[in-house]
Amino acid sequence: MESLTKLEELVLIAVLKLKEEAYGTSIYKHILGLTGRDVTVSNVYFPLERLVRKGYLQAVQGEPTPTRGGMSKRYYQITKSGLAVLQENRALNSAAWRGVAGLIKRVKV
């Protein structure tokens, strides 16, 4: 199984959730909403490109709008293998987190 970085995972989930509306700005806003201030747009773009290269995402050229300075949007759609890798990651995550909640409460450091 191909392992994803946390950011890649977040980005992939964001694309899935945003459905037809998944492009740079919306993904950035989504992740910003999740994590707080410490994200830049380029931070989102590098994992996006990597995911496209790996074949988990597929990019589609959108329409340019005036607020974008005439530059077109690039929409992202999740691919089959993207779904599969997300599935696997989810399984891995929940397996890894099983029983952790109780531990966190009990263990004293």
> Site residues (CB under 8 A) for other proteins?
23-25, 28-29, 40-43, 45-46, 64-65, 67-69, 71-74
- Cα four-point dihedral sign 27, 32, 52, 74: positive
Closer CB to other proteins, 60 or 84, in the complex: 60
**58: closest CA among 84, 81, 25?**
81
Which of residues 61 and 94 has its CB atom nearest to other proteins in the complex?
Answer: 61
| CA-wise closest residue to 22 among 66, 69, 67, 79 | 79
Radius of gyration of the chain (CA): 16
Closest separation between CB of residue 38 and other proteins, Å? Answer: 9
Least CB distance from residue 4 to other proteins, whole Å? 18
Question: In whole angstroms, how close is the CB of 86 to other proteins at the nearest point?
Answer: 23
